[in-house]
Structure 1
């Protein structure tokens, strides 16, 4: 096993039998990358690694031809991301090390939110906000302090260290595209696209708006601007993992014509606890 490339939270990449994995301490999980050469034996080693590191969940994205191998090793399919691998679908496979981690709370409430979205005939219309008083632009290094303050206000905990100015500085240099809404010189909202250049997909994430500015289309308009830029950059698939308990963000994605593709149970640590995340996808 080889260890390499650690980040600001001391999370690290490792290789086991040439398979690249990521130990995510904040979310108590292990993520599998590069599963082309995966075997049952390697998956068993990864389970052992997860146990030693007290990770409650192992996650990965697999092409259809590899799904049977994962299920034989005890993984379940929690969802699907259409076009994730340069246009080829990915299946979201998960293994729960901890039995409690696989128990989803308030499922009925979460299902009702999805049903509410799917029954809605509301759609986002570009330019339909009658010239909102705020402007939207790509974030710059000079914004890092304000962005960190916004995230700290909105989220008590978050799956990635968005409160860390050094993390923002590093990711702003090409991997993540941040766009902000600004009103009277103050950043009032943000969303980002975590770009996978190799596979031509991007995760729409890091959505936050100060409470007093919600209900004004801030997030919807930022997502539209992100989508426009990603389309110009020839990305194929956009996806988002949204909090299953949050009606607003799920409705925003539905209005932007994202399609619901499943739910990741207790997937990450957000707002002080492990939460289920709904999978939404859009091919552009």
Structure 2
């Protein structure tokens, strides 16, 4: 890790009334991991805990069965992931402890970008650029280069992608990493965080060196990820993209992802809290 360039994540899991939560300190939020059988009283206690910890947002991807409980506890619906739970929908619920955190800045500009993206929907054409760069699965030998790339692109990030041990562990467990290599050097990376239980995967950790952008490299990595995920039997793909970053939003729309909501001030990325656009694609058809 380059000194002064990035902040390591120091999140931790905890339980409130047997409800498992992830306390994400860098993003000053709580993620409710296990919502089965959750009650309004459980949620009120989680809100109290988060407030005492000086956290300002609580999030959960809940099922239709728990939707009303979250609404009655004061949560807002920010997005919807069709097919998240083995074909059943998930509702992206959020509770804002801080009034300032629920304010979406530059709303017209961000909506205008989404409209531009939707005008390019489903226009991706796979081009074989194998003579210029090679797309392949990442290996442990790539981790140092991946850290260099990710720490160059992202000043801060919601997960500890600058930690070589974290990349090694997730590469072995549940994350499919792919890289694009040019002249023996990794120039772009993206991954799929796979939820095998629910057969969904998040397209994430997308980064390309500035000199290699606007060449369709990242789009071709996403294409390769989708191909592998479909073979593995996954049903639903989704991605959270920075609402102020045109390139990744355009790439997802071109790959026929549907815009499904905006998560306001959702995480600490690139040095500040940012709104994240939610894009969803079903691949079981």
Question: Shorter chain as normaliser: what TM range?
Answer: over 0.9
Q: Secondary structure at the match of 2:275?
A: strand
What is aligned with 1:37? 37
Q: Which residue of 1 aligns with 2:178?
A: 179
- In structure 1, stretches of 5+ residues that fail to align are 1-7
Residue 129 of structure 1 deviates from its aligned partner by 4.8
SS in 2 for 1:267: strand
Are the equivalent residues in 2 in contact too, given 1:79–1:262 (CA < 8 A)? yes
TM-score, normalised via structure 1 length: 0.94
2:148 aligned with 1:149: yes
1:77-116 → structure 2 map (5 Å cutoff): 77-116=77-116
Equivalent residue pairs, number: 276
| CA apart distance, 1:14 | 1.4
5+ residue gaps, structure 2, are: 1-7
Choose 168-177 or 265-274, whichever is displaced more. 168-177
Distance 2:276 2:214 in 1: 22
Tell me, what secondary structure is at the counterpart of 2:21?
strand
Contact 2:122 2:256 in 1 (8 A): no
State how far apart, in whole Å, the 1-side matches of 2:114 and 2:128 are.
25
Give the match for residue 67 of structure 2: 67
Question: Which runs of 4 or more aligned residues in structure 1 lie more than 4 Å from their structure 2 counterparts after TM superposition?
Answer: 129-132
Matches within 5 A, 1:111-260: 111-120=111-120, 123-126=123-126, 128-129=127-128, 131=130, 133-260=132-259
Deviation at 1:94, TM superposition (A): 0.2
**8 Å contact from structure 1 (residues 19, 37) kept in 2:** no
Deviation at 1:120, TM superposition (A): 2.5
How far is 1:65 from its partner? Answer: 2.4
Q: What is the CA-CA distance between 1:67 and the residue it aligns to?
A: 1.2
The one-character-per-residue Cα deviations of 1:147-198 (angstroms, maximum 9, x if unpaired) are 0000111111111111111111111112111000000100000000011111
Provide the rounded CA distance (Å) in 2 between the counterparts of 1:165 and 1:236. Answer: 30
Structure having greater relative contact order (Cα 8 Å, sep ≥ 6) = 2
Quick one: distance in 2 between partners of 1:122 and 1:167? 34
Provide the rounded CA distance (Å) in 2 between the counterparts of 1:86 and 1:157. 32
User: Which residue number in structure 2 is paired with residue 5 of structure 1?
Assistant: none
Find the aligned partners of 2:162 and 2:247 in 1 and give their Cα distance.
Answer: 23
Give the distance between the partners of 2:128 and 2:213, measured in 1 at CA.
14
CA contact (8 A) 1:129 1:217 kept: no
Structure 2 CA distance for partners of 1:189 and 1:250, relative to 1, 3 Å: same
Q: CA RMSD in A?
A: 1.2
Deviations for 1:129-157, whole angstroms, at most 9, x for unmatched residues? 55451000000001110000001111111
Q: Go from structure 1 to structure 2 and tell me whether the alpha carbon gap of 1:234 and 1:95 turns closer, same or farther (over 3 Å shift).
A: same
Change (3 A) 1:200 1:253: same
